[in-house]
Amino acid sequence: MGAPKQKWTADEEAALKAGVIKHGAGKWRTILKDPEYSGVLYLRSNVDLKDKWRNMSVMANGWSSREKSKLAVKRVHHVPKLEESPLPADNDVKSDDAAVDVKAHEVPLMPIPSQNRSTIRLGNLILEAIATLKEPAGSHKTAIASYIKVNMLREVKCWCYWLE
Amino acid sequence: MGAPKQKWTADEEAALKAGVIKHGAGKWRTILKDPEYSGVLYLRSNVDLKDKWRNMSVMANGWSSREKSKLAVKRVHHVPKLEESPLPADNDVKSDDAAVDVKAHEVPLMPIPSQNRSTIRLGNLILEAIATLKEPAGSHKTAIASYIKVNMLREVKCWCYWLE
DNA sequence: CTTTAGGGGTAGGGTTCG
DNA sequence: TCGAACCCTACCCCTAAA
């Protein structure tokens, strides 16, 4: 459902090359704003220009993906990358007495076992909401939790109602 | 060029989140100096923290040039800012059959009467979550709503539990 | 002077899709 | 399968404000 994927035309490539010659590689925004090229490249963003230039350069150097993967130096990441562990089919979120095996003293950080990017994002969103709520008044955790219960849950429900 | 690009580790992200909860978003230098996190974040600057927090939190404002319709359009318009209408002292959000006087056809935009910055943010967060969820699969509204019900509500409850 | 908010911008790894 | 187009993240710069 993303973008329809816009193939670069010969005109656009020519404009990009001319722009790089005129302003230099890396001056993508400058090239984009240059009236000399903006008429041709108006569909593109500065990032698009950067990416296209990279693709063109790679082709010129004759690098294959296999060689690139050889050269790719992997940094040491100790990301455990949790298993996919699909979401529980349980469609019902139990009310406030829902059993969540999380205890404040035992879980210093995120209590949510994020299993995919979307879920991680949601956790971040909630975290941000909490952080935001801290600003106005020096609210304490209980106050924040209360606020979330009252407002955020209500908003979520409201949104669900609206979406259905 | 300058930076070898240090990808944030899970530990660093966790420390940042914990720091934000402890000191608040915006207290980057304070978080950095906190002995509780300095061991993990010693490679980062306060600006790094700020940028990272921005990366984690702000993903709603699509600058993806193309395809900013749909949800983005809805975000453009603003809700006519209803009066203060204080929150119900009711600490309990009733379960899924909660009566919300919102009907899909009557409320084309945000159904939430945002009354202050925090609430507005919450609305945006939910909107962002919806936008995020739209990416992976061409989900439809019902699927999104279902997802939110199952996961987001669960996460919110999880957070509340953790905070209390 | 130091810090933060926030707008812009770029590089490069990763991912998707034709 | 491969590569062009696109996305995501980290880092950078700048300026205004506190």
Per-residue 3-state assignment (H helix, E strand, C coil) for A99-158: CCCCCCCCCCCCCCCCCCHHHHHHHHHHHHHHHHHHCCCCCCHHHHHHHHHHHHHHHHHH
pLDDT at A88 over 50: no
Distance from C-alpha of A58 to C-alpha of A87, rounded to nearest angstrom: 41
Considering Cα of B121, then A134, then B26, then B158, what sign does the dihedral take? negative
- For B14-42, what is each residue's pLDDT tens digit? 898 888 878 877 899 999 999 999 999 99
Chain D nucleotides covered by protein, CB below 7 Å? 2-14
- For B67-93, what is each residue's pLDDT tens digit? 444 333 333 333 333 333 333 333 333
What is the nearest nucleotide to B1, using C1' and CA?
C11
pLDDT at A42 over 50: yes
Residue of chain A whose Cα is closest to the Cα of B134 = A1
Asked if strand D contacts B8 at the CB level, meaning under 7 A, the answer is yes
pLDDT value of position B57: 61
Quick check: A163 and B156 CB within 8 A?
A: no
Backbone angles phi, psi at B109, to 5 degrees: -115, -135
Q: How many Å from the CA of B85 to C1' of D7?
A: 41
Interface test with B, best of A115, A155, A164 (most B CBs within 10 A): A155
Quick check: A109 and B18 CB within 8 A?
A: yes
The stretch A8-23 carries a mean pLDDT of 89
pLDDT at B122 over 90: no
- For A107-153, what is each residue's pLDDT tens digit? 223 333 333 334 434 445 555 555 544 444 444 555 555 555 555 55
pLDDT value of position B22: 80
The stretch B142-148 carries a mean pLDDT of 51
pLDDT at A163 over 80: no
CATH class of the A10-63 domain in this structure: mainly alpha
Q: What is the largest CA-CA distance in chain A?
A: 66
Q: Where in chain B is the domain with CATH 1.10.10?
A: 10-57
Quick check: B129 and A151 CB within 8 A?
A: no
Quick check: A158 and B100 CB within 8 A?
A: yes
Residue of chain B whose Cα is closest to the Cα of A47 = B64
Asked if strand C contacts B115 at the CB level, meaning under 7 A, the answer is no
Distance from C-alpha of A23 to C-alpha of A29, rounded to nearest angstrom: 10
Enter the tokens of residue B60: 């709603």
Q: Which fold has domain B10-57?
A: Arc Repressor Mutant, subunit A (1.10.10)
Interface test with B, best of A46, A103, A110, A117 (most B CBs within 10 A): A110
pLDDT at A36 over 70: yes
CA distance B80 to chain A (A): 17
Distance from C-alpha of A140 to C-alpha of A158, rounded to nearest angstrom: 26
pLDDT at B142 over 70: no
pLDDT value of position A106: 30
How many residue pairs from chains A and B have C-beta atoms closer than 8 A?
A: 207
Find the range with the poorest average confidence among A21-25, A140-144, B42-46: A140-144
Quick check: B104 and A164 CB within 8 A?
A: yes
Asked if strand D contacts B102 at the CB level, meaning under 7 A, the answer is no
pLDDT value of position B162: 43
Alpha carbon separation from A126 to A46, A87, B159 (Å, rounded): 32, 19, 8
Q: B96 and B149 in contact (C-beta within 8 Å)?
A: yes
CA distance B83 to chain A (A): 16
